[in-house]
Amino acid sequence: MKRECIILAGGLGTRLRSELPDAPKVLAPVAGHPFLYYVFQWLERNNVSRVILSLGYRSEDVISWCKSYDGSMEIVYSIESEPLGTGGAITKAMLEVRNEQVIIANGDTLFDVDLDLMERYHQNQKADVTIALKPMKHFDRYGLVRIDNDKKITGFEEKGYREKGMINGGVYMLNKTCLNRLKLPDKFSFERDFLEDYFSQLNMFGFIQDTYFIDIGVPDDYKRAQKELSFKY
């Protein structure tokens, strides 16, 4: 079975305006390449053969760059005519998904998850949704994900300073049918209106990976990516 991934790449990147006044966030230049290049490289290393790019803001720029990308993956596009929220964007992109199971990732985050291990875990747990969790220390930018001893999701907590904990790393494995069987609006947040509202009704598990993680959504981390990714790739 060919592995597929939806990449959410339609954001405005308002918090990066000081560093990136015009381009879409996924095309932010990092160590000689657009950030999306590093996300694609991670997917190719993890045997993803088909990518559905969910696009909105300046989609034509992203498509133009993708045409020049020299990789082995098939790239298809799901373009929003108006903002649908992360949930609505995923639901729309699902129309292009061929498999029952799909990976979902954020185009402005690189989390070096081993997708072979994650897929095996997802299937062994008979999960509807598996969230890749990143252990962190001394953080306040991210909310906390709570799990039980079996790593089943038991809740989500708002952003706030914490000594340590698990954060949602923005990589998911999702069974296509679990979105279809819920009555969700056309526009909704995947994180708030789906994960947080339905975790108790679904088989939702956390998959812990203490591997490289960077989110370029704020200027400080965007600058950090310039140094770190130049050594990694």
Q: Which helix (H) or strand (E) holds 179?
A: helix 176-180
Does residue 161 have a pLDDT over 70? yes
pLDDT digits 0-9 by tens, 165-201: 999 999 999 999 888 888 899 999 999 999 999 999 9
Residue 15 has pLDDT above 60, yes or no: no
pLDDT for res 21: 54
- Give me the residue spans of the domains in the chain: 3-232
Which CATH fold would you assign to the domain 3-232?
Spore Coat Polysaccharide Biosynthesis Protein SpsA; Chain A (3.90.550)
| pLDDT single digits (tens) 77-121 | 999 989 999 999 999 999 999 999 999 999 999 999 999 999 999
CA distance 67 to 52: 14
**pTM > 0.85: yes or no:** yes
- 155 closest CA partner among 192, 189, 193, 199: 199
